[in-house]
A and B are shown apart, each in its own frame.
Chain A
Amino acid sequence: QKEVEQNSGPLSVPEGAIASLNCTYSDRGSQSFFWYRQYSGKSPELIMFIYSNGDKEDGRFTAQLNKASQYVSLLIRDSQPSDSATYLCAGWKTSYDKVIFGPGTSLSVIP
């Protein structure tokens, strides 16, 4: 069983819509979760991190964490064509532990 799983997509949404990206993890010891965005041919960049159950909002982005269900999600409101990228979910336990990435979900925002 993979430690972090995501739907590979591609996920297509029209411009202005809400994009919903999902991630599940298998290690209950994981404490913090991260969403990275990666444009084609570029390095990953951090969008959000979350470590408490519930929602965390930052601008157009909302991360949601449900530790009981071992589920993490990222909502992107008012999607823009510039949001078209691959979104990587990652989990981390504690210091001296590696960060584990999911396979990524490709998002395409259609103008």
Chain B
Amino acid sequence: NAGVMQNPRHLVRRRGQEARLRCSPMKGHSHVYWYRQLPEEGLKFMVYLQKENIIDESGMPKERFSAEFPKEGPSILRIQQVVRGDSAAYFCASSPEAGAYTGELFFGEGSRLTVL
């Protein structure tokens, strides 16, 4: 039973390029969360998605950032026109459906974005 899979694990982009981070939740999980972690800081909530639906995007910057979780395939966090301040570790976590949810999050290994 595979855990939460994130790729790429490491991504290097130059300023102005686009970054796409992918996350496949654990088998049987239908909710996905994205968190950003800057060096020496805690996890900052970005967005909470269900398949084909954004439940809460209150932590997403208004510009350049978008997220989706299509009916088929992984969840994708997209960052357009990256800047150096976007350099961080981006963690994806998943959880089961609301009725079975206890609040526990299952994390992927993270995608580390470096912007040159």
Minimal beta-carbon separation of A10 from chain B (angstroms): 11
Is the beta-carbon distance between A88 and B42 smaller than 8 angstroms? yes
Is the beta-carbon distance between B42 and A99 smaller than 8 angstroms? no
Considering only residues 77-108 of chain A, those with a C-beta below 8 Å from chain B are: 88, 92, 95-104
Q: How far is the CA of A32 from the CA of B43 in the complex (A)?
A: 17
**Which bucket holds chain A's interface residue count?**
20 to 34
Residues of A within 8 A of B (CB): 31-32, 34, 42-46, 49, 88, 92, 95-104
Is the beta-carbon distance between A98 and B48 smaller than 8 angstroms? yes
The tally of CB-CB contacts under 8 A between chains A and B is 54
Is the beta-carbon distance between A103 and B107 smaller than 8 angstroms? no
Is the beta-carbon distance between A43 and B45 smaller than 8 angstroms? no
Given contacts A43-B91, A44-B91, A88-B43, whether A99 and B110 have CB atoms under 8 Å apart is no
Given contacts A44-B91, A95-B98, A96-B98, whether A102 and B107 have CB atoms under 8 Å apart is no
Is the beta-carbon distance between A32 and B110 smaller than 8 angstroms? no
User: For B69, what are the chain A residues with a Cβ–Cβ distance below 8 Å?
Assistant: none
| Residue-wise interface mask of B (96-115) relative to A, using a CB-CB cutoff of 8 A (1 in contact, 0 not) | 00110111110111100000
Between A and B, 8 residue pairs with Cβ closer than 8 Å are: A32-B102, A44-B91, A46-B105, A95-B99, A96-B56, A98-B48, A101-B42, A101-B43
